[in-house]
Amino acid sequence: MVLELIATLCTGLFTGAGLAVAGFLAALGAWLNGRGIPVLIAGALQGFVVPFTLIVIFPTNKQLSDSALDEASSKAAALLRKWNQLHAVRSVAALLAFVILLLHLGGRL
């Protein structure tokens, strides 16, 4: 389980970060062109995931990728629970950004 997670993390790190930065920059550009504050807020939420990942989640990723970690240990289970909770924060931020953009597109924000 831990090894599968590490492989996924390595793949998703570059793709996810690149898309988050692109979304933030696109939202910033749209806001500068008069698309409104909701677009800027949604872009900030998208951009938030990059520093959050590097500062908050990366230490947990590093511990999970430690070759000395026993996958059956309680420490591994605790780290996976922690990673899931931290990942949920990123997911909620992305979902909130999406909802804000949908509401703005529909003229409700």
Parse the chain into domains and list their residue ranges: 2-105
Q: What pLDDT was estimated at residue 96? A: 97
Max Cα distance, the chain (Å): 53
CA–chain centroid gap for 9, Å, is 11
- The pLDDT tens digits for 9-26 are 566 666 778 899 999 999
**34 — alpha (psi -120 to 50), left (phi > 0) or beta?**
left
Split at pLDDT 50, 70, 90, the class of 51 is very high
pTM greater than the 0.85 cutoff: no
Please report, for residues 43, 74, 101, 103, the alpha-carbon distance to residue 109 in angstroms, rounded to integers and kept in the order given. 15, 46, 9, 6
